[in-house]
Structure 1
């Protein structure tokens, strides 16, 4: 049995533009326009899924996945007390904590979730999704893509921060029997 999973990173929002930890802000006007323009490039999904954030839900609707089901296990990385702040602000107030967080995947100085725990959480979703045939299309936060690429490639969690995930790009996983292939970073609408 072959499973196919397409992850689509959410459209641009003020939080992404400002390098701010998600605070529930919506997609911005340009992101919404680009998502609507890319709607025809999204394949038909047997299972449309969405990360339960405002920007992911709005992106899914703009892409024509209005019936997408929320997947709580695909929610963004819980950054605890840093939520809503910019990386620059947090770095100015807690430079040692930020340095530790970026270098040690097991740390969670913000009181939220470690990168290590996060990678395990989203990998559990992929493992469950692998048990069904057909195509799953999920609109997700960029960190979901990072976590799954790390896990599928068997890379250390320290590689999490080395993966760039631009808005409205598709990362595809296909595989069976626990072995996945990855096709990463294709802009929606780009030819195959």
Structure 2
């Protein structure tokens, strides 16, 4: 774990949005303690993605976020546009499918980085071993990771879950996840 020039502003922004999401959640009146515990786990997961210096730890923090999001949408979600169960399930399935693509790309990078006998997930060591990655491998790994990240961050054309997911989620969840 560590903080660099890019992660510091993202951490500050996450803290600012975290405080705003807590302020926006004062009207929660059922199962308040559980809501705020899950909200803090969600905020911690997002912050963890910004301080990870290891690809596996980054992935772990990103996946930690999926669990509280699902629970929060099911319990405290809105039913104005879609049912909250539908929104939670659609959001979770799309996030997990994106995570599967990302995991395959990460494992491929790990195995390719270990071609000289020293596999690693560390960002700095992976980038220092660029000569181990053939252009064909780079294209395949990039395609896997762009589909994975594209689905996770709701990038076009992998964003079909986001309107239902954000509409069904509580305001605080939408703020933090976006």
Q: Same fold (TM over 0.5)?
A: no
Normalising TM by the smaller chain, what interval?
A: 0.3 to 0.5
Task: From the two aligned structures, give the one with the greater helix fraction.
Answer: 2
Who wins on radius of gyration, i.e. which is larger? Answer: 2
TM-score (norm 2): 0.34
